[in-house]
Amino acid sequence: MPHRTLEWSSLWTIAQRELGEALRNKWLWFYAVAFGGLALALSQAGVASAGYAGLGGFGRTAASLINALLLFVPLMGLSVGAGALAADRERGTLLYLLAQPVSRAEVFWGKALGAALAVLTALALGFGLAGLGLAPTAAGNVAPFLGLAAYSLLLAFVSLGLGFILSALTKRAATASGAALLLWLGLVFAGDLGLIGTALTLRPTPAVLLTLLLANPLQVFKLAAIYSLRATLDTLGAVGQYATYRFADQLPLVLLALLLAWIVVSFGLAALLFQRRAL
C-alpha cells in the first residue's frame, strides 16, 4: 500500500469525536473535581509543606498538593487512554471507522489528540478549583503554581500515553481499565515503597538509587515539582543531595527532558502497536 500522508481535516474530525467521547467519561470528571476539592480543603485548612523544606507562603501551601497530584493526575490519563481504542474495538466502531477513507495513523493520532484535549480540560478544571482556594495565599506570585500545573500536564500526557499502550494491546474496555488500575498501583506504590525496600535491603549507592527513581515518571514529576517550588531536595535524603550535586543547575532541564521522552516513547510505542495489531 502506498504511503499516505496525514490529512489534518480527517485527523481533526476524529479528534473532535474522541474529545466528545472522553468528556463523557464520568471518572475523568470525578478525578478532576476530587483533586480540586482536595486542593480547596488543603488551602482552607492551611496545611503546611507536608515535609518539603525550603518553602514559604504560597509555596508551602502548594507543596501539599504534590502527593494529591501523584494520585489523581495519573488516574486521569490512564483512565482516558485505556478506553480510547479498546472501547471502540469492543463495540465494533473501530472496525467501521477504519473502513472509511482514513489511515490507521490518522485514526490513532486523531484519537490521541482528542483524548489529550479532554485531559487538558479536566486538569484545567481541577487547577481552576485549586486556584480559587490558593489565590488568597499567592501574594501575587503565581509562578510556582503555574510551574506545578505545567509539570502536572506533562505527567498527565505520560499517563495518557501509557494508557494508549494498554488500550492498543487489549480487546475489551474492562480489561484495559483493569490493567490501567494495576499499572497505577504499581507506579504509585512501587515508587515510594519499592525504593524504600530497595534501600533497606540492598543498600545501593545514591547514584543507583537515583537511577531507579528516574525510571519512574511519577518520581520524575515529584522531583521536578519540588524543585519548581524552590524547595531543597535535601529533604529526599542522599538521593536528593546526589541529584543536586550531579546535575546542579541543569537538573530542571534533565527532569523536563525525561518527562518529554516518556511522552514520545509511550505514544510512539502505542502507535506502533496499533499499526501492527489486528483488530
- Which tens digit of pLDDT belongs to each residue from 201-248? 666 666 777 777 778 899 889 888 887 776 555 555 555 666 776 777
Low-confidence ranges of the chain (pLDDT < 50): 1-2, 47-57
Give the C-alpha separation, 11 to 149, whole Å.
Answer: 27
CB 190 within 8 A of CB 216: yes
The predicted pLDDT at position 2 comes to: 47
Residues 6 or more apart in contact with residue 12 via CB below 8 angstroms: 110, 113
The predicted structure's pLDDT at residue 10: 87
Q: Are 153 and 125 in contact (CB under 8 A)?
A: no
Question: Could you tell me the pTM of the whole model?
Answer: 0.85
What pLDDT does 1 receive? 44
Cell readout for 7 is 490529512
Cβ atoms of residues 171 and 273 within 8 Å:
no
Q: What is the pLDDT of residue 50?
A: 41
Q: How far is CA 71 from CA 45, 123, 175, in A?
A: 20, 13, 21
pLDDT digits (tens, 9 = 90+) for 188-200: 887 666 666 666 6
Q: Which residues contact 112 (CB under 8 A, 6 or more apart)?
A: 84, 160, 164, 267, 270, 271
% the chain with pLDDT above 90: 33
> Quick check: 229 and 151 in contact, CB under 8 A?
no
Count CA atoms closer than 13 A to 96's CA, side-chain side.
Answer: 6
Please report the pLDDT score of residue 81 as a whole number. 94
All three cell numbers of 78: 490512564
pLDDT in the model for residue 252: 82
Q: Which residue has the cell 547514584?
A: 207
* Cα distance from N-terminal residue to C-terminal residue, the chain: 18
Say what the pLDDT of residue 51 is. 44
The predicted structure's pLDDT at residue 145: 77
Q: What is the grid cell recorded at 196? A: 524504600
